[in-house]
Amino acid sequence: MGEKEDKYLQRFGEKLEALKKASGLSYRKIAANCNVEHSDIKRYVDGKINPTLLTIIDLAKGLGVEPKELLDVQWNDLD
């Protein structure tokens, strides 16, 4: 992946972390609420792996939010 893609993953991870903190849930509790391993959730937060659409839907379910909330970030300033 290139630098631009890394920034996108980092921005997604920041949003995921913010929603995690707002929910008060641990990685393990989020994982228990959905079909994503807690260690993978941490990797998404760190921007290490690229989530699929189905993973975004699962993460949203685990957090108790709509999937669009995970993608509701400022993307334009990353170009």
Q: Is 10 inside any structural domain? A: yes
Rounded to whole angstroms, the Cα distance separating 46 from 50 reads: 10
pLDDT tens for 19-62 read 999 999 999 999 999 999 999 999 999 999 999 999 999 999 99
Q: Residue 23: which domain range?
A: 3-72
pTM metric for this prediction: 0.91
Q: Is 79 inside any structural domain? A: no
* Three-state SS at 16: helix
Q: Is 77 inside any structural domain? A: no
Q: Is 78 inside any structural domain? A: no
Q: What is the pLDDT of residue 75?
A: 80
How many domains, the chain?
1
Domain with residue 47: its CATH number is: 1.10.260.40
